[in-house]
Structure 1
Amino acid sequence: MKYTKILRVFVIAIVLALLMVTIPAAPAQAARDITIYPEEGAIGTEITISGEGFSASTDITERYVNVYFSSDEASMIHYIDNQVTYYNRVKEGQYIELDGTFDYTFTVPDKLDDGEDEEDVTVGTYYIYVTREYTNPLTQSTRIGALAEFTVVGGDITIDPDEGPVGSEVEITGEEFLGNEDLVITYDDDEIDIESGDDDTDRDGEFACTVLIPESTAGTHTIKVTVGGSEVEVEFTVESYIDLDPTSGEAGTDVSVSGTGFGRRSDVDIYFDNEAITYDAASSDGSFEVTVTVPELDKGLYDVEAEDDDGNLDTAKFTITVPASTQPPEPTPAPGPAPSPTALNISATSGKVGSDLIITGAGFEAAGTVTIKFGDEVLDTVLADASGIFVAILKVPSLKAGEYPITISDGTNTEERTFTLEAVPPPIPEPLLPKMGVKAKTPVIFDWESVTAEAEPVSYALQVATDKDFDEGSIVLEKTDLVASEYATSESESLELAERETVYYWRIRAIDADENEGEWTGAGEFYVSKSFSFPKWALYTLLGLGGLVLFAVGYLMGRRTAYYYTF
């Protein structure tokens, strides 16, 4: 009997084992997983996200997930709105297919503003979170079911200057790039060297470096900065430029004229004093070099101009030091004064503070010291060469707008020209207090909107008058050199204003650092409340009465005490 039971158990075990082999096991759900493409890009880049291994929808039950773009790092044990508070909900209610997959495309946002906290999207690492599945839109899941990393690249660059001739030094500054990455700079897709400055970004993703503009034709060209996966482009405009060697000499001198920044393989005409004297063909990079002979002209400064078929041109100055003819003029009974032995050219007769002035002179004392004055201010002293020629490049000084003499002298020869200094005066401030028609308390507070000007800092002038035309005799208060955009009257000024029971008018204007005065504001009307003052006679009277009252009270109290002890 015992053996029979053992045999039965053994047979049942074998049967169960055979059944387990023949019956297939139910497949386990694969792990949720997402992939994204691309894995890096700038703001606005389209990202395609593909998910698999999610609980599939069925013919009866539809399942959904939500997709988030966030700067918070989390894992699949965390929840949206708990550990993840900075996010943008890029998709709500993404349907899961019958095979447990989904695909969705969205663009990288510029803000994370759907969560409890908000911030701008910048360069760096971000996270794409997909929640676990849910079936009821009213009870959406916030637990993270799958995640992927995305790198936001970008950056911004500026160049200074953004135009100029070939060989210009251009400073490139960049920010908002990935930190500690190498720089690659190209010019029209050809890599160029960094002459000075940074060759990689710092930890904040910033850099500053200098490059030289290579030989290239006139017009716009592309400077591209590549940092990691970020490429940022900016345009530089090449301007035509010519150089003379030498820049002075006698008539008949051979002069080399070299130019850059002209049209590709274009014909370039050379003019001397507006007369065409030769031409040359530019290279594929827009450069040329040709030798010309100075024509027979009198001593002085002359324009040498180069212009191509497309209208690209530049002008340089050449000084002829000896007249073409040495024969004396025919004598006259009464010869006039001899012409000035000097020649002078100034690049501009008007301009703003800080603009360039190129002053070229000839016929001054050989190797002499030339003093250049702008008004009463000495701008510079330069040395003329052995031929009496000098060139000075100066900046227009910081002065009030108007006409100024430019005087050039070597102690023997003097030349003078007039220069008009232009300036934009400060804008008119907007008055704030006191408001029109109000009765102001003392101290009177004058307040107005501050303004800015080209020449900082700005100061203000304030006037208060009893006449709206502000005649000289009607002005009762005047303040200048006010650096703040408000003024409170002093005690004495307040008393003086309060003494008059009359209407007052006030106005202000701004003055920049170069003493250029803006327009006055319109006249604002106000009154001043008369402050209460206690007369001295009334004070003394009250004190006397108080003393009498105290005496009477003391007298009565004394009589009452004496009466008490008597009885």
Structure 2
Amino acid sequence: MAITVALALAALMQITAIPAAASDEKPTMLMEPSRGPVGTVIHVWIIGVPGEGQVTIAFDSKDNIVQTVKPNEWGDLTASFTVGTCPAGIHRVWVRCTTCEFYAPFILEPSIELDKSGGYVGDSVVVSGAGFAAEQELSVYFDDTKVATGETGEDGTLGNVLFRIPESSRGTHVVKVVDSAGNSASASILTRQNLTIAPKSGAADSEVTLAGTGFEANASVVVYFDGQAVTGALTDEKGSFNTSFRVPVRRPDIYKIKVSDGTSTYYEEFSVTAGIRLTPQSGGVGCYLTVEGSGFRAGLPVTVSYDGNEVASTTADVEGSFEINFRVPPGQAGEHRISASDGANNVAAIYTVESNPPPTPELILPRPETETASNAYFDWEGVSDPSGVSYTLVIASDANFSNILLRKEGLTQSEYALSEGEKLPPSKGTPYYWRIKAVDGACNAGEWSVPGTFYVSSPVLPPGLVQPADKAKVTGRVHFDWEDAAGAATYDLAVASDPDFSKLLLLRNGLTRSEYTLSPVEELPPSQGSPYYWRVRSSGKLSQWSPARSFYVEKPMPAPELILPASGEKVPPRAQFDWEDVGKPGAVTYRLVIASAPDFSSVLLTKEGLTESEYVLSEGEKLPPGKSPLYWRVRAERGSSPGAWSPARPFYISSSSMPGWAKYSLAGLGLVLACFVSFWIGSIRALRLRTEAEANEYDGSKL
């Protein structure tokens, strides 16, 4: 069967025969396969070899004899040989006998081998190969990622090019080698999932980091510790992820960490040991220090020592955990050893005592010798310290701070506003004194700031808000208006997205007028169902903030489309103006403006509150005739929310009192009347002619 297939294939091959002597007999050569890599076994069949003697078979070169065979009595023979190392390309299989010489082509294809069938991300892989172009540069690809380069030898071989498996998802990937001549060969390699954990042992609540590679791409990963789900992650497109978790409370032992991506699972081991955690890890003498322990023997006493001296004791619970606190005893700054022991387990941690106090804050508000409201607001420069900072605020009625009126400790922000119950009475000419100091997380207190002075003024009523009205709906650049306040030098305006004004959107201080219109860069976006809030206070004599009002910002109304007068039209002094409705009738009003300049710097007439989308000038509003154009425009208004102006349109005032439309109507009426008169005259003439004809006919019949 194999010979039959080979004969059929070889019949299609081109065989070049070179006669060695004159003969009418031509042998037939059959070869299979016709192409393949180094190491391919080639089978050759030759039929009808003339004469007697040995037949030699050579590869590539006539002198490179790979086999010598003697034909049988009919001149037939078979031979096989293995293709040796050689560069890529077309090679010749030569057949020579005493009276003949011919060959068949063989195409050598490149091939590669990997020293391993699979591995983890980062593992090294060695590639070797043959059948490439001689002495050519080549590149090694992992899927589509270039991972290594090399060169072929003069025989087309590739010797031990090393690459590392790049980040890739679990499964089979293709390693491809391509030389500069375009010859290529591929092989498959399997990426296996792997997990790296650090550390591999620790106490309960210690942090463990995980780095996974070779998992399913874009998959949800769940991490379990001793069967308990502790964290999750999402792998990237290359099957990698990073995450961390804290070790759950467990007795000292070895536990399994399981990672599952839904289709496969990976396990690692983690050893839980006894351990303690300090809160804080650094601080000052006298600060409270909390020691939390886990992994100790359940129900047995635990002793806590500070630099070898017992400072506290407790009993571990049923899970081997405990928590105890004590004050840091006097000692020098630096590291101190905290240890916990139950007789079998003895673990330690380091506590650092620091003694550097934080910097002294600088006072900002109230400014010296200024007045403030009874619910005074205090502000100072914040300071920092590695252990954290809190502040102590003191207010007194004397410069020596012997009569303390208020003391606030543990303030975490560098500002404070007196509450309703902490309001100060009016000064009546006598100042108040205040100062600040910072205290770090190690209980080290800094120096007091230089005292500041301030006065509390008699209550000043806040300004009354005018517009927008409460819950009003406005558009565009909001205009705020409020009542003048007695004794106010300037005003402060605040706009926020919440009623507590913790989310300020705008704060304008020092406004000299009791109104303000938002600039284009301050324009508020539409409310989308959630209101904005605004309030005002006066300064000079500082008042409290006014009660807040809410308002909504809607999308601005479109500009009306103008109808009459048309652009450049001449109209009578009592002109009629008409435009398209905007919105539902009755829901909006209109403002009509007529000016002698296109920029409306010279306004001749303004009509506001128009409920209809048209207006005819009254006798007292007549416009004088002229050769220069006038301009008009209209906008819609909803309450205090104006829409966009229509484009300005020019028109002229004629000396005639009859509007253009009336002239056209009168001309049309005249034309109709002329047609009617012509018809009437024609009808009379026709009637007369008919009468005369009938009379003539009557006279003829009578004769």
**TM bucket normalised to smaller:** 0.3 to 0.5
Greater Rg by CA: 2
* TM-score normalised to structure 1 length: 0.35
